[in-house]
């Protein structure tokens, strides 16, 4: 066989094109290669070399059938052959590419006969023709369908109507996509599965300077720009203090110089301290500076669901395209990747593909990477390779500044001090208390005062020690309160009473638990995160205007906390 040193010095496409004909025509009496059947030789002939990236050999084909058979039946043999040729361990990846216009490789002329077919009858037993492969590939491609959620999400038109009259918008919602925005092209396959490199030191692929992101192409089917960002989560309305100053500065630097400053960036801290706000702010500011930048914000739950759906619908290549051709990938709540081995595997390769092409990755977690004990070591080391910074509970001065920023009504100093002194651990709880005080005064037509604030928060003040509130507990108590069953709350029924109770339960889930939107959606019958978000915003606004809803939420909060204590 070829000297490894000589093979390693050859351009990879030349090496592949030299080895495969020899392998296909190998003499079984004096074999130099692992034995393959005539059919497997024809399959190899349908594969083309793309790039050698470190220990990863990236190949391409137009046929899903070919890829599947090669990966399942020839993977070990190919890796063995080229590991010996190159003198290093090799792993294999095969990308699907779009068929090109008919050429010498797709016509029926004599020149189109595969190397393995030279001098053999076309109808040989076990032989697979390109036409057969193309036909099976077409059937496979047509069978792929887009995943459709069981329950429709709120329409974009409904989002703008849910604005609190007394407060600036502060919820954890998302901005619907703008149809006028351009979507990214598939772009270079440098961002494909192939660039799974462990570090930037590999010689075959050098990360380009990230000065200008690739220009997007007009949106088309399967080419949507998926950027869902909360319009109120910007740097301008993020209140800084000693607890979050470093994280804030790092996020601004990443948005200004993506791929060059702190890559990857990981922000960790307990729930409700502003991590998600910072992640959305990065997306907003980066897009403001570079309108054509390809950005995706996603929670780890959505990433997992997206990956699972891509498998079930036969759309893994679309998944890879959408995630690996980004300029900026933002993943929230990365701790939920723990225990999901297949998703970790796919995200590891996505991480490498982006990192090695100089694209920015931003992550958040509720704990530092070293405490993500069930995360694969190789993924944990990737998380630790950049800048890790934390956000902590805000001090009293910062909490009072947050209250001033979030409220559009003038808050007396003693009211701010009361709320800020009682809610120390979570900004989310702090904002929730502010909502209740303002709503209580609006509905009762009372002036904002110390007495009114104490009355509004009388039964929900913290200080009872750590109590565990779960979605199941909330569903149970809300169903009892409205004389329904838990199955009706999590079911598909759309009767007004059921829908209202379900929305209140989702609102309380956001107020009283630290669960993410996707986690709550799963607890409520596997609903989409946008349904939870819509419910939260709707009840948030109703308690400002409807005394009955306000009292129901107050009463339910008391019952839930009382049950949790017991």
> What is the per-residue pLDDT for 280?
95
**Alpha-carbon gap, residue 118 to 13, rounded angstroms:** 22
Coil/strand/helix, residue 546: coil
DSSP three-state, residue 365:
strand
At 407 the three-state DSSP class reads: strand
Domains and CATH numbers, the chain: 4-100+130-138 (3.30.300.180), 226-390 (3.40.50.300), 396-456 (1.10.8), 471-565 (1.10.1750.10)
Helix, strand or coil for residue 298?
A: strand
Span 339-393, pLDDT tens digits: 888 888 899 999 999 999 999 999 999 888 888 887 888 888 889 888 999 998 8
Q: Could you give phi then psi for residue 250, rounded to 5 degrees?
A: -65, -40
Degrees, nearest 5: CA angle 71-74-75: 55
Residue 110 burial class via C-beta count within 10 angstroms: exposed 0-12, middle 13-18, buried 19 and up: exposed
**409 vs 24: CA distance, rounded Å:** 78
Which burial class, exposed, middle or buried, applies to 199 when counting CB atoms under 10 A from its CB (0-12, 13-18, 19+)?
exposed
pLDDT of residue 440: 84
The pTM for the full model equals 0.47
The span from the CA of 503 to the CA of 500, in Å, is 5
- pLDDT value of position 127: 37
Q: Which residues does the chain have with pLDDT short of 50?
A: 101-225, 464
Cα angle for residues 247, 233, 246 (degrees, 5° grid): 10
- Average pLDDT of the chain? 75
Backbone angles phi, psi at 217, to 5 degrees: -110, 165
Q: pLDDT value at position 466?
A: 59
SS3 annotation, 37-79: CHHHHHHHHCCEEEEEECCEEEEEECCHHHHHHHHHHHHHHHH
Give pLDDT tens digits for 406-456. 786 888 888 888 888 878 777 888 888 888 888 888 888 888 888 888 888
Look at the block and give the residue holding tokens 């930048």: 293
């Amino acid at each position: 066989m070829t000297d490894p040193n000589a093979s390693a010095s050859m351009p990879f496409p030349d090496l592949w094109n030299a080895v495969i004909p020899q392998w296909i025509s190998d003499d079984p009496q004096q074999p130099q290669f692992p034995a393959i059947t005539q059919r497997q030789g024809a399959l190899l002939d349908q594969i083309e070399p793309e790039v050698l990236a470190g220990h990863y050999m990236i190949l391409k084909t137009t046929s899903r059938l070919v890829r599947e058979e090669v990966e399942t039946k020839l993977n070990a043999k190919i890796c063995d052959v080229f590991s010996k040729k190159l003198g290093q361990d090799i792993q294999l990846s095969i990308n699907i590419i779009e068929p090109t216009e008919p050429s010498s490789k797709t016509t029926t002329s004599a020149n189109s006969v595969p190397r393995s077919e030279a001098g053999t009858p076309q109808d040989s037993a076990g032989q697979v023709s390109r036409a057969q492969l193309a036909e099976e590939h077409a059937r496979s491609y047509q069978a792929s369908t887009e995943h459709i959620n069981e329950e429709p999400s709120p329409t974009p038109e409904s989002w703008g109507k849910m604005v609190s009259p007394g407060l600036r918008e502060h919820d954890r919602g998302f901005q619907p996509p703008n149809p006028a925005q351009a979507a990214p092209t598939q772009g270079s396959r440098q961002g494909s599965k192939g660039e799974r490199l462990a570090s930037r030191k590999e010689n075959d692929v050098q990360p380009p300077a990230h000065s200008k992101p690739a220009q997007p192409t007009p949106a088309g089917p399967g080419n949507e720009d998926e950027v869902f960002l909360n319009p109120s989560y910007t740097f301008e309305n993020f209140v800084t203090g000693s607890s979050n100053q470093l994280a804030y500065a790092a996020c601004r630097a990443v948005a200004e110089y993506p791929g060059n400053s702190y890559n990857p960036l990981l922000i960790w801290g307990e729930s409700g301290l502003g991590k998600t706000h910072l992640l959305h702010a990065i997306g907003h500011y980066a897009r403001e500076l570079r309108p054509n930048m390809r950005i995706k914000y996603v929670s780890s739950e959505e990433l997992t669901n997206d990956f699972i759906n891509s498998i079930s619908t036969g759309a893994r290549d679309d998944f890879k395209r959408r995630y690996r051709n980004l300029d900026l990938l933002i993943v929230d709540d990365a701790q939920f990747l723990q225990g999901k081995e297949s998703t970790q595997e796919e995200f590891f390769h996505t991480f490498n593909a982006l990192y090695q092409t100089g694209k920015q990755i931003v992550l958040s977690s509720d704990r530092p990477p070293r405490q993500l004990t069930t995360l694969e070591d190789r993924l944990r080391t990737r998380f630790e390779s950049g800048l890790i910074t934390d956000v902590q509970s805000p001090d009293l001065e910062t909490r009072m500044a947050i209250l001033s920023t979030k409220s559009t009504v003038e808050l007396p100093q003693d009211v701010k001090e009361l709320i800020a002194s009682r809610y120390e651990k979570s900004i989310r709880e702090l904002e929730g208390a502010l909502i209740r005080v303002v709503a209580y005064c609006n509905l009762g037509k009372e002036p904002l005062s110390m007495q009114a604030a104490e009355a509004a928060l009388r039964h929900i003040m913290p200080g009872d020690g750590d109590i565990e509130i779960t979605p199941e507990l909330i569903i149970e108590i809300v169903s009892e309160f409205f004389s329904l069953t838990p199955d009706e709350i999590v079911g598909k029924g759309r009767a007004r009473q059921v829908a209202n109770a379900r929305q209140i339960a989702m609102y309380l889930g956001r107020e009283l638990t630290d669960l993410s939107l996707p986690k709550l959606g799963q607890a409520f019958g596997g609903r989409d995160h946008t349904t939870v978000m819509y419910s939260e915003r709707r009840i948030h606004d109703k308690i400002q205007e409807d005394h009955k809803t306000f009292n129901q939420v107050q009463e339910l909060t008391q019952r839930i906390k009382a049950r949790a204590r017991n």
